[in-house]
Structure 1
Amino acid sequence: MTRLRPALLACAALAAVLVPAHPAAATGTPGPRLYTPEANPAAYRQAIGLLRAGQYRDAAGLVAMVSTPQAVWYGDQTPAEVERQARAVVRDAGREVPVFALYNIPGRDCSNYSAGGAADTPAYKAWIDAVARGIGRHDAMVVLEPDALALLPADCGQDDAQGTKTAARYTEVNYAVDRLGASAATKVYLDTGHPGWHSVNEIVPRLVTGGAARAAGFYTNASNYNTDDANAWYGKLISSCLAYVDTGGSSADCPNQYWPRADAQTWLDAHVHADPARMKHFVTDTSRNGQGPWTPPPGKYTDAQDWCNPPGRGLGARPTLKTGDPLQDAKLWIKTPGESDGLCLRGTQGPEDPERGTVDPAAGDWFPAQALELIREANPPVLP
């Protein structure tokens, strides 16, 4: 570290000159601010390398990216480790609001790219207990278990005829909602996947069974690339359908994201009259959606994996708790921008990602090429 110190100081100086100040700090706007965790160490190493290579703007952009509030992910720690780490985060956050992405559900990701998770339901409950103790009474937002409801064990052929694993999944999610939400300062949001996956009619029953009535709300687009407009509309439709179901209606009758918007709005006007303050709210992931979703070349791949390290994507809207939407609590950077989605083969034998001509890093590892793409294609731009 001693040899790197001059370069680190240079990066810090570059950030002070080129990286915009935190919006709340710059405008004096009162209210809570989101917390910025320490970055992946590989991001700092990349910034130093860019600086030494004379790529000053890219280095500054990378510093700007990692200096932006984003979620803290937990999933592979022991209960003792996660309790200690969560407590350290809330202590470091002070009056800022940390966002925790919890990713330890048994059988997560259908045991695919991000395989892992707790061994069983009792182990998961003990882990959630530890997270709750670590957070304590500090203000926090919890993005609970990406893909937990959008990708049930029954969806990937891992369940038995009785639905044992899927039933356990719902038990686990409900336990987490109640345990974490026992503190009024902790807002828990449930998984919906994204607008290009499940219809409103399909995801709302899962939210209901998962305990949405007792959660702050739900989130959409975690680790995905759908536009802000698509996410906001999807969120409004889900929230409205939940309110409709709460009054005795059927989710099958709700408009979904594939309806013409005018028709859907007419239906909402006729059937949903709840106060937005009493409806379920949502948050969205804007970390990598600045250029929207990737459209694969037609007919090129048997499985294009459009969610997996798609090329040419950019950082999206900066995180904020002031969205201007009465149903949307926040725009967040849930997925850590710059970290890989996994080894993307797109239906080929690999080992290279055929869209990139390189072997992609494993899920969660730093991906320098993608980090630069996100910075250069950011919308809005990272730097003035």
Structure 2
Amino acid sequence: MLSRTARLLLAAGLSASAIALGPVATAATATTAHAPSAGHTLPADTRFAVTPDNEAQRQALTDLQHHDLAGAAAMAKLASWPEATWFTSGTPAQVRDQVRATVRTAAAERAVPVLVAYDIPLRDCSQYSAGGAASDAAYQQWISAFAQGVGSSRAVVIVEPDALANLPSDCNATTDPTGTLTAGRIADIKYAVSALEAQPQTVVYLDAGNSQWHSVGDMAQRLIQAGVAQSQGFFLNVSNYQPTDQTDQYGTWISKCLWFATDGPAWAAGHTDYCASQYYSSAAPNDGAPGDAVSPTDASTWHWTDAWFDQNVGTPPPAQLTHFVVDTSRNGKGAWTPAPGKYTGDPQTWCNPPGRGIGATPTAATGVPLVDADLFIKTIGESDGSCTRSTAGPGDPEYGGTVDPAAGAWWPAQALGLVQDAVPTLTFNPRLLP
């Protein structure tokens, strides 16, 4: 039976199947030495699941009720693509039941859900997305229940966005002076990997931030400490806007750095700090001349980092390199840079930047050897928080001084803008069309 939204869209002259719930594109085979068994990979027949009754589908119905057929069509396109399902709170029993319901719904569609575990203590340094479990012990009970909910079902699990890129020791000088909280964070992530990888068909990825955050070596070291070798790999660009090609390049460097410091030459053992990065490469002249040093904001200089890896890492065995996935939910136009001098303080380029667009649609056929999938991990249309860009606020000057919705709140205008500015142009999921 057609849903009410589908019937209304059909009445509006749109294809009801445009918002039908179902799987998407066939995935490419992905293997890695870090996968404990064949069940912990994304095989060639993987299809990602569309979340039932998602925000975009509900917005399409609202737009139709207000006779906004163009808005309804845009939201119907968005609703036809798979996005990750986030689990951010609740008791262990509640999250177990919620996860179980999600994976069972996906299984009925013969599809694989992408699940986000987001309940780590001191989440987001108690800022816009503050929250999380009350203690390490509480978190470990919660993530154990999460894993029980997955059970023997197929699932991709994104473990705690920002948890490694934003450790308690990164929050401020007084948050974790003894390092106890950071040690607990690492232990929590390792526990999560162990609990989730114990399930026979989970594919687990750990946080590696984005290409404009930590250096390659720093991020590789954090991943090693958190047990990335026992997982499928890591994820990049969640809730961020960095271009896919630069993200792929950064991720490939991290993967090679992991190999270099663990399975590479004897002189490199344990030394992720030797790895070149988006900030510095000893292979560059570094003589002050334009283009003769690596700049994180000028990807045309990144060939110097490639050169370092060519000289020092060479070509590792492909099966020994760690794989990763990329969030392409909002990076169609790349990162935002305000006009020079517009803001005297932090412009919060990561926070609801204007004029962005959706990027490449979810697929595991990425064409990049180490990239298992491009995914919509951040829920498209949910706010990053109430941004003030170092002004007196409370409004956001990039949106005419209106106050942005709280972090995680649905923002219809932003959702519409991201669809309209998508690169490439967003279409209906072809697998759902007649």
More divergent stretch after superposition (253-262 vs 225-234): 253-262
Equivalent residues of 2:23, 2:111 under 8 A apart: no
Q: Which residue of 2 aligns with 1:268?
A: 309
Give aligned pairs, total: 376
Quick check: 1:323 aligned with 2:366? Answer: yes
CA distance in 1 between counterparts of 2:62 and 2:302 reads 48
Within a 5 Å distance, the mapping from 1:157-172 to structure 2 comes to 157=172, 158-172=174-188
Matched, 1:340 2:383: yes
Question: Gapped runs of 5+ residues in structure 2?
Answer: 27-42, 280-293, 295-300, 429-434
Q: Quick one: which of 22, 25, 47 aligns to 2:60?
A: 47
Alignment of 1:194-343 (within 5 A): 194-247=210-263, 248=266, 249=268, 250-258=271-279, 259=294, 260-270=301-311, 271-301=313-343, 302-343=345-386
2:420 corresponds to: 376
SS at match of 2:204: strand
Q: CA deviation at 1:30?
A: 6.5
Per the TM alignment, residue 369 of structure 1 is displaced from its structure 2 partner at its CA by: 1.0
**Quick check: 1:37 aligned with 2:51?**
yes
Partner of 1:360: 404
Q: Distance in 2 between matches of 1:148 and 1:12?
A: 43
Q: Deviations over 1:333-375 (max 9, x none)?
A: 0000011111111112222111102111111111011011101
C-alpha displacement at 1:288, in angstroms? 0.6
- Give the Cα–Cα distance (whole angstroms) in 1 for the partners of residues 381 and 221 of structure 2: 34
The more displaced of 357-366 and 123-132 is 357-366
Once the two structures are overlaid, the 10-residue window that deviates more, 56-65 or 265-274, is 265-274
Cα 1:18–1:185 change in 2 (3 A) is closer
Which residue identity lines up with residue 267 of structure 1 in the other structure? W
TM-score scaled by length of structure 1? 0.92
Alignment match of 1:69 (pick from 82, 86, 101): 82
Task: Provide closer, same or farther for how the CA distance between residues 6 and 80 of structure 1 changes in structure 2, counting only shifts above 3 A.
Answer: closer
Q: Is the 8 A contact 2:23 2:82 kept in 1?
A: no
Q: Which amino acid aligns with 2:16?
A: A
Q: Which AA in structure 1 matches 2:306?
A: Q
Match for residue 138 of structure 2 among 101, 123, 128: 123
- Which consecutive aligned stretches of 4+ in structure 1 deviate over 4 angstroms post-superposition? 5-8, 17-23
Deviations 1:288-340 (A, max 9, x none): 11111111222222121111111111111000111111211000000000111
- Cα pair distance change 1:349/1:141, threshold 3 Å: same
SS, match of residue 355 in structure 1? helix
Please say if 1:193 is aligned against 2:193.
no
Tell me which amino acid in the other structure corresponds to 1:16: A
Change (3 A) 1:299 1:138: same
Letter matched to residue 9 of structure 2: C
Q: Give the equivalent residue in structure 2 for 1:148.
A: 163
Tell me the CA shift for residue 265 of structure 1: 2.8
Whole-Å separation in 1 of the counterparts to 2:44 and 2:140: 37
Q: C-alpha distance in 2, partners of 1:205/1:22? A: 36
CA RMSD of aligned residues (A): 2.2
Contact 1:277 1:326 in 2 (8 A): no
Between the two structures, name the one with larger relative contact order (CA 8 Å, sep ≥ 6).
2
> For the residues of structure 1 that align with 2:171 and 2:18, how far apart are their CA atoms?
46
- Alpha-carbon displacement from aligned partner over 1:137-192 (angstroms, at most 9, x marks no partner): 11111111011011111111253432110111111011001111112411111111
CA distance in 1: counterparts of 2:319 and 2:113, whole angstroms: 23
* Structure 2 residue identity aligned to 1:376: Q
Please, which moves more after superposition, 198-207 or 47-56?
47-56
CA change 1:93–1:379 in 2 (3 A) is: same
Displacement, 1:66?
Answer: 2.0
**In 1, Cα distance between equivalents of 2:194 and 2:83:** 24
Is the contact made by 1:233 and 1:257 (CA closer than 8 Å) also made in structure 2?
A: no
Contact 1:220 1:285 in 2 (8 A): yes
Q: Which residue of 1 aligns with 2:291?
A: none
Shift, 1:19, TM fit: 6.8
Secondary structure of the 2:399 match is coil
Q: CA 1:6–1:330 in 2, change beyond 3 Å: closer, same or farther?
A: closer
Q: Name the SS of the counterpart of 1:219 in structure 2.
A: strand
Return the letter of the residue paired with 1:169.
Answer: R
Change (3 A) 1:23 1:139: closer
